[in-house]
Structure 1
Amino acid sequence: MDATNYIAKLHELAQKNRWLLKFEDVDYVGPDHLRTFTVRAVVDGKAYANGVGKNKKEARQMASKNALEVLDDPAPETKEAAPYSVPLSPVQSTGITRFNYMCWLNEYGQKNKFLVRAVESVTANSVNASQCCRFVVGDKEYPAAYGTTKKEAKEEAAKLVYYAIFGNETSDWDSKVHTGKVLFINYDSIEALGKGAFGTVFKARQKLLEKYFAIKIIRCKEKTLREVKALSDLSHVNIVRYYTCWMEDTAYQWDSSIDSYSSSQSTGNQSEKYLYVEMELCDTKTLRVWIDEKNTQNVKKSRRDPRRREESLKIAQQLVTGVEYIHSLALIHRDLKPANVLFGRDGNVKIGDFGLVTAESTDEENVIERTVYKGTPSYMAPEQMNRKTYDRKVDIFALGLIYFELLWNIVTGQERQAIWDELKAQKLPEDFTRYFQQEGQIIKSMLSGQPQDRPEAKKVMQELEECSQLLTMFKSMRTV
């Protein structure tokens, strides 16, 4: 049986050549339990032989194989069927789905009597060897570009010349064809990391810096810039670091059904914009995963595991330190939960996802904003749930719940709900207060029903430090 993933291969080929790829459902026949599906691959506007299968994925697999038999043919004379038209100029390229920048640059040089000279080199590093190319047109030198082959590097470099010359006059056609235009030009090794309510996150290597970053893509609506504006003002070791952002007309797409990317996707809405945010790349394991893993390890003893206790305290200290910094800038996170906490490559805990961040100001609009039911219900403070005017203390309440989760093994969903309801009423399990007496007092104060009774983040930091000193003393006494 052929185990080749032709779908993935076709997507890789499409990305490499900047082709628009989509799959079209042609037909299906038969009863529900015995259907046969027909799908075809359309590459840059040209449809290839239909693929047939027992499900859509199998039909896509066969359709991809049929397309690759034509597109992967190494002999140039057999590639007439490939979608590789070369327009004479950007204006004449309307309706043509692939633009050859090298051909355009050569014609541009001839037409304007400019000498076009390519300066090529190889940039070696421990991971791979990148081909580098930049063009000198007449007496003007343009930026360098990179690729895995000389041809790819030259095409990317020619593209930079094109954008430099035409700037914002790039045609609508070009923005539709190249989904994630800047992403394709400046990054490679693009992989999907995850998708959430506020956007999709990719891992990508910045070609020039040869470093990996997280690229978050968000559909721009009225308040989409909230997260970026907040992150741009934040600089703290326990907060995911922000680097830069840019706007594009289209979004780089990921097809989760086949675990691969689409090289291009037009939104169909001329006014729709997408925000691309370059951020610090963190470990894909969130604090939610860390807690779940701890809960499955040695279930009977995990509630009294001294190592987990120490690790949980360190995590809680870093979280509170990050929150104290956020509050010092008169901001409220509003959506603190384990799934929004990451682990950085530097080993530090990182607070992320500032999609619901809001300012703690007294102007009328902001006061109204701080009555809106926003956040994750299970981690909301009472005043947040009841849509009353709330302040930064909602973050302290969420931290109290998180610290309890870090320490205590909740085995089943049914048990979790019962314990969670008690926690929100400041009722901790008896066993918990017996094993974690000092931590229990700290958590109980953080879960006070009235926000004014909850401590400030700075006070929690001091209490956790005292707890740490006490644990260190107990540990030294046991080793004597």
Structure 2
Amino acid sequence: MDTGNYVAKLNEYSQKTRSKLRYEDRGSVGADHNKTFTQRVVFNGVVYPDGVGKNKKEAKLDAARRALDCLLHNEQPDSVDTTENAAEASTASGHQITDDINYICWLNQYGQRNRVTVKAVESTKLGPNSTVQCCSFVVGEKVYPVVSGKTKREAKEEAAKLVYDVINGSKTTETAGENCNHTSDQLTEEINQNISEISVISNNNSFKETNFIGLVNHYCQKTNHSHKFMEVNRCGPAHNPQFFYRLVIDNKEYPVGEGKNKQEAKQNAAQLAWSALQEQSDWDSKVSNIFSSLLCLSLFSTRDSCESSLQSMSTSTSESVVLSSSLMDAMLLSTFLTLCRFTSEFDSIERLGKGGFGRVYKAREKLLDKYYAIKIVNCKEKALREVKALSDLSHQHIIRYYVCWVEDSEYKQDITDSDSVQSVSDSSPQYLYIKMELCETGTLQNWIRNRNKMTQQDSKRREDVLTIAQQIVSGVVYIHSNNLLHRDLKPANIMFGRDRTVKIGDFGLVTAENHEDDSNLMKRTKTGTKSYMAPEQKSKTTYDHKVDIFALGLIYFELLWKFSTGHEKAMMWENARHQILPKEFAQTFPQENHLIKLMLCERPEDRPKALILKGKLEEWTQMFGEEKNMLLESVTV
């Protein structure tokens, strides 16, 4: 019998005869420097002679050779555990085995036999001296790792060989057949586990689907295309509805996807669009650019770590080198796919707002089936400062922070998101994704606008404002108790939670106090919103927590006083900043007028502390409550 890759030949033989093949590890004997390993083949329940070698690979190769020799010559092995399948094995043993496997041909036959589509995705990537040809296969719904070669044909053949090894290896007790030792098997499992994090399990759990929504989203981001999902139709009874969605990319409509729920329909629509995209003439170059930018720049260090890990496990044979390259590509591919964490872990994404700060989206976390606010900003010092501050705070009147992560790309929902928050000076920016408590009931700024449109009695507004002011001050007391300054308090940064409680947000300008300085002052930058800035915050570089008190005074005044027009507010605002409030205000709200003037003192040391304000407001709440009860009693008498 000619020498060759007996493991591959035996695998092919088992495929042709639809037989069950597995290898048994029989252990090893001898000193550590001169061990002899033993393995044997179990074919359709029949145990064949042991194979031996200096390592597991050689032992496995020898075991496959011995089994093939018996099968081809229709001989029963000396040591057999005969089963009812033995007759089938001997009957089928008359088939001839090809010396050289045409993996591409085998893969096409596999697709026809199992009624699954087989598609080769050819691409290129930048090498040290020239362009490297790459290829990967999509078999049915499964995307296999990218493999490289010197020519297109070689890359395609190696990619087909990888699929062959994986498919045949999955039917034995060892993954990837002769090309893997135990260590690389474990590594492959880890890779598959990483990829599974961004995969969707099919209903019958027979295979894992690629997250086509994530792939399409990342493709559109990297190629500057806008895309959106459109609901085409929904039908069926309530207990068994059917949803129909199509993907639209740059106003081009793709085939309609159907599903039992919205997510499944969108996933199927994305898959159909992804297949259509691959038919484009310029597909290879587009995919190459995407992978080059991600793998060469973002994952440079990952490749180095992959190479060092694989180097220790590789052997001197060419087959193991090929597999190591494939494993490395799989590791890189899994890392590439997990970059799309936002679109992989969240759906039902709606934009809530955008500005110089970045963008905020409402999104449902699939795992928990809960909605959160996801803030996406440039990963810079200000953003990191906000995350650090929020992670240390836990209070009922402060926006709750959950977790954050960094991605190399910014999520863009549709064409209106084309203006990126990225700075022009950033050559390769990163984006910080901050998961926070969702507040959908509006901001304090909206509340003020709505109240100014109403013809409401001053007493009712005063009562509502007192409740709001108490909650704001309570949050500020907590911030100051943690030796922090907010520095940008204003109605737009104060929101309402689902239970209508006040939530202070936007901690991008928060900073720490320095208690090592006797004056509790520290040098800071001139940051904040000018109309709410304290005088020292505008003109000086040293200030303390009293800047928040000044902003609170202006907010309290704005909450109580009805401005009919923006022009009226502009006329009064500068006077208010200098403690000059309208006479009507002093007459209507005498207690508040006195307190607000103290809060707006030019000298920071003359302003009351937040804790004192909190006590005063609580005192008023009790006093106004007693007055209200007395008034009600007098009316009923």
- TM bin (shorter chain): 0.5 to 0.7
Shift of 1:454: 0.7
Shift of 1:253: 1.9
Q: Distance in 2 between matches of 1:473 and 1:268?
A: 60
Local SS of the residue matching 1:418: helix
Assess, with a 3 A threshold, how the Cα gap between structure 1 residues 458 and 109 changes in structure 2: closer, same or farther.
farther
Q: Distance in 2 between matches of 1:138 and 1:238?
A: 42
Q: Distance in 2 between matches of 1:423 and 1:369?
A: 27
Q: Distance in 2 between matches of 1:473 and 1:99?
A: 77
Match of 2:142 among 91, 102, 105: 102
List alignment gaps of at least 5 residues for structure 1: 1-83, 117-135, 161-165
**Which deviations, in whole Å up to 9, do the C-alpha atoms of 1:238-264 show, x marking residues without a partner?**
000000011111111245xx557899x
The answer to whether the 8 Å contact 2:522/2:543 transfers is no
Local SS of the residue matching 2:440: strand
Q: Distance in 2 between matches of 1:95 and 1:449?
A: 70
Q: What residue number does 2:450 align with?
A: 293
User: What amino acid does structure 1 have at the position aligned with 2:430?
Assistant: K
The answer to whether the 8 Å contact 1:426/1:447 transfers is yes
User: What amino acid does structure 2 have at the position aligned with 1:154?
Assistant: E
Local SS of the residue matching 2:121: coil
How do 1:26-65 and structure 2 match up within 5 A?
none
Q: What residue number does 1:278 align with?
A: 435
Q: What residue number does 1:210 align with?
A: 369
Assess, with a 3 A threshold, how the Cα gap between structure 1 residues 336 and 322 changes in structure 2: closer, same or farther.
same
Bigger drift between 174-183 and 403-412 goes to: 174-183
How do 1:428-467 and structure 2 match up within 5 A?
428-467=581-620
How do 1:59-458 and structure 2 match up within 5 A?
87=121, 102-104=142-144, 110-112=164-166, 113-115=168-170, 154-156=209-211, 168-169=302-303, 181-255=340-414, 259=416, 271-283=428-440, 285-298=442-455, 302=456, 304-361=457-514, 369-370=523-524, 372-458=525-611
The answer to whether the 8 Å contact 2:401/2:435 transfers is yes
User: What amino acid does structure 2 have at the position aligned with 1:111?
Assistant: D
The answer to whether the 8 Å contact 1:89/1:104 transfers is no
Shift of 1:461: 0.3
User: What amino acid does structure 1 have at the position aligned with 2:170?
Assistant: L
The answer to whether the 8 Å contact 1:287/1:339 transfers is yes
Q: Distance in 2 between matches of 1:99 and 1:458?
A: 66
The answer to whether the 8 Å contact 1:282/1:343 transfers is yes
Q: Distance in 2 between matches of 1:188 and 1:212?
A: 9
Local SS of the residue matching 2:608: coil
Q: Distance in 2 between matches of 1:432 and 1:311?
A: 17
Shift of 1:233: 0.4
Shift of 1:389: 1.2
The answer to whether the 8 Å contact 1:308/1:407 transfers is yes
User: What amino acid does structure 2 have at the position aligned with 1:476?
Assistant: N
Q: What residue number does 1:27 align with?
A: none
Assess, with a 3 A threshold, how the Cα gap between structure 1 residues 147 and 359 changes in structure 2: closer, same or farther.
same
User: What amino acid does structure 2 have at the position aligned with 1:425?
Assistant: H
Assess, with a 3 A threshold, how the Cα gap between structure 1 residues 478 and 243 changes in structure 2: closer, same or farther.
same
Bigger drift between 188-197 and 313-322 goes to: 188-197
Local SS of the residue matching 1:402: helix
Q: Distance in 1 between matches of 2:620 and 2:582?
A: 20
Shift of 1:451: 0.7
Shift of 1:271: 3.8
User: What amino acid does structure 1 have at the position aligned with 2:367?
Assistant: L
Q: What residue number does 1:18 align with?
A: none
Assess, with a 3 A threshold, how the Cα gap between structure 1 residues 146 and 408 changes in structure 2: closer, same or farther.
farther
Local SS of the residue matching 1:243: strand
Shift of 1:415: 1.5
The answer to whether the 8 Å contact 2:358/2:378 transfers is yes
**Which deviations, in whole Å up to 9, do the C-alpha atoms of 1:420-453 show, x marking residues without a partner?**
1221111221111111112222212111111111
Assess, with a 3 A threshold, how the Cα gap between structure 1 residues 290 and 223 changes in structure 2: closer, same or farther.
closer
Shift of 1:85: 7.5
Q: CA RMSD in A?
A: 4.4
Q: Distance in 2 between matches of 1:219 and 1:98?
A: 34
Identity of aligned residues (%): 46
Shift of 1:284: 5.2
Local SS of the residue matching 1:282: coil
Local SS of the residue matching 2:211: helix
Assess, with a 3 A threshold, how the Cα gap between structure 1 residues 409 and 274 changes in structure 2: closer, same or farther.
same
Q: Distance in 2 between matches of 1:385 and 1:268?
A: 27
How do 1:17-28 and structure 2 match up within 5 A?
none
**Which deviations, in whole Å up to 9, do the C-alpha atoms of 1:337-382 show, x marking residues without a partner?**
0000011123211000011111111579x96642x22100100111
Q: Distance in 1 between matches of 2:537 and 2:631?
A: 44
Of structures 1 and 2, the larger Rg is shown by 2
User: What amino acid does structure 1 have at the position aligned with 2:508?
Assistant: G
**Which deviations, in whole Å up to 9, do the C-alpha atoms of 1:187-234 show, x marking residues without a partner?**
111111111222211111111111111111111234431100111101
**Which deviations, in whole Å up to 9, do the C-alpha atoms of 1:131-190 show, x marking residues without a partner?**
xxxxx9699867566769869972239999xxxxx9945989979997961101111111
Q: Distance in 1 between matches of 2:433 and 2:574?
A: 39
User: What amino acid does structure 1 have at the position aligned with 2:402?
Assistant: Y
Q: What residue number does 1:59 align with?
A: none
Assess, with a 3 A threshold, how the Cα gap between structure 1 residues 357 and 141 changes in structure 2: closer, same or farther.
closer
User: What amino acid does structure 1 have at the position aligned with 2:210?
Assistant: E
The answer to whether the 8 Å contact 1:332/1:392 transfers is yes
Shift of 1:406: 0.9
List alignment gaps of at least 5 residues for structure 2: 1-117, 146-158, 172-187, 216-298, 304-327
Corresponding residue pairs, total:
365
Assess, with a 3 A threshold, how the Cα gap between structure 1 residues 384 and 97 changes in structure 2: closer, same or farther.
farther
Assess, with a 3 A threshold, how the Cα gap between structure 1 residues 189 and 475 changes in structure 2: closer, same or farther.
same
Q: Distance in 2 between matches of 1:382 and 1:321?
A: 24
Assess, with a 3 A threshold, how the Cα gap between structure 1 residues 225 and 177 changes in structure 2: closer, same or farther.
same
The answer to whether the 8 Å contact 1:334/1:357 transfers is yes
Assess, with a 3 A threshold, how the Cα gap between structure 1 residues 115 and 324 changes in structure 2: closer, same or farther.
same
Bigger drift between 353-362 and 146-155 goes to: 146-155
Q: Distance in 1 between matches of 2:578 and 2:623?
A: 28
Shift of 1:316: 0.5
Q: TM-score, normalised by structure 1?
A: 0.65
